[in-house]
Amino acid sequence: MGNPRYSAGMQKLLLLPALLTVFSIVILPIRLYSEDPGAVFREYIVDIEETARIHLLVQTVQFKEALLSGEYKKNGAEFIFISSEKALRVLFKSEKLARLHSRLNDDAIFRVFISRARIFGVDTAGNAMEGRVLLGGVCHDKNCADEDFVVIHAD
């Protein structure tokens, strides 16, 4: 039987697979599952003319408007938001918003996005509303001087 200790050369050879294993278990999933928020939102951004058209449309239809607090519960493609002013519960069903949520993979960024958003929809029974259109903004600097608008329609 040989010595149970490995030579210095053998230790270096064993170190590389160990480091690769740690990298693949810890570091790689972070890069795979967390996309750049700017790239994620880019798919949902609309120009100012489209935003104005949507805003005019929801006013014409006389949808109720709710500013969101950032608090939400998610069940598949169903979101329940709480409005910031009247504790109004807002139901919003959207595969597109669910996709955005999963691609962001960052609850803090999603909550900031939602807390700056407005949902337009119709009243339902009790102190509730069913959302039809979400209009939000994505800031690109601290003062929100550079902002893009996001429109997501309910399913």
State pLDDT tens for residues 49-67: 888 888 888 888 888 888 8
Indicate the Cα dihedral angle 12, 16, 19, 25, nearest 10°: -150
Strand partners, 67: 118
With a cut of 80, say whether residue 7 has pLDDT above it.
Answer: no
Mean pLDDT of 105-126: 88
Instruction: Scan for tokens 């959302």, then name that residue.
Output: 131
Q: How confident is the model at residue 28 (pLDDT cuts 50, 70, 90)?
A: very low
Would you say 103 and 63 are in contact if contact means Cβ atoms under 8 Å apart?
Answer: no
**pTM over cut 0.75:** no
Judged against a pLDDT cut of 80, whether residue 154 lies above it is answered with yes
Per the listing, tokens 């998610």 go with: 74
Categorize the per-residue pLDDT at 147 as very low, low, confident or very high, splitting at 50, 70 and 90: confident
Q: With cut-offs at 50, 70 and 90, classify the pLDDT of residue 45.
A: confident
User: Across the strands, what pairs with 83?
Assistant: 68
CA 65 – CA 5 distance, rounded (Å):
71
Residue 127 has pLDDT above 90, yes or no: no
- What pLDDT shows up at residue 2? 46
State the angle between helix axes of 107-115 and 95-104 in degrees (0 to 180), rounded to the nearest 10. Answer: 130
Tokens 């999963």 label which residue?
A: 102
Which residue(s) pair with 150 in the sheet? 45, 136
Mean pLDDT of 18-34: 49
pLDDT digits (tens, 9 = 90+) for 104-115: 888 888 998 888
- What is the Rg, in whole angstroms, of the alpha carbon atoms belonging to the chain? 23
Segment 78-104, tens digit of pLDDT: 999 988 877 789 999 999 999 999 988
Write down the domain spans for the chain.
1-33, 37-153
SS (H, E, C) 17-34: HHHHHHHHHHHHHHHHHC
